[in-house]
Amino acid sequence: MIEIRIHGRGGQGAVVASAVLASALFYDGRYVQAFPAFGVERRGAPVMAFTRWDYKTIRIRTNVYQPDHVIVLDWTLILEGVDVATGLKENGWILINSSKEMETGDFSKFKVAIVDAGAIAVQHKLGTPTAPVVNTAILGAFSKITGMVTIGSVIRAIRDNVPDKQEENVAAAREAYSKVHRIV
């Protein structure tokens, strides 16, 4: 079983990202689960969402404590002390939405990739310039770096699960797929 934990802030689309990713993995022939974990339910508060997939039925029903991969929708969570790597398996991917190369600190046991999903979202008018919605862009990047889900399935899942600005979201996912880069 492969488990993915998504860190973001309320309003960035972490919950939708986990559902779209699960749909894309389902289209690629996997059994899936997607679910959120909330603390303070308000815009801007830290949130987590989870996706699991396997080639057989998934019976576990807990949060993800030892993810294979982590997606970070807002790099400032790291600055604020959120340990996004907690429990992450060695050599797992950490995909970070950031506009710059980052000092990865104690991420040396992991594979790290950066994509400026915020700028991509703004370019495609997803959210606002001060609060871009980066979820679909980051999924395009995730498809590229991990190879575990096809970009075609991500696009299909966006079209089937995202009710507004579907083509803009598809374009953002495609652009992030081509612009993500590995730093470690």
Q: How far apart are CA 168 and CA 170, in angstroms?
A: 5
Length of the chain as a residue count:
184
What separation in angstroms does the CA of 51 have from each of 22, 64, 126, 167? 6, 8, 23, 24
Answer for the pair 94, 110: CB distance below 8 angstroms, yes or no: yes
Q: What pTM does this model have?
A: 0.92
| Range of weakest confidence among 79-88, 114-123, 159-168, 169-178 | 79-88
Q: How far apart are CA 23 and CA 17, in angstroms?
A: 10
Mean of pLDDT values over 8-33: 94
In order of start, what are the domains of the chain with their CATH numbers?
A: 2-182 (3.40.920.10)
Q: How far apart are CA 160 and CA 170, in angstroms?
A: 11
pLDDT (0 to 100) of residue 39: 62
pLDDT (0 to 100) of residue 103: 56
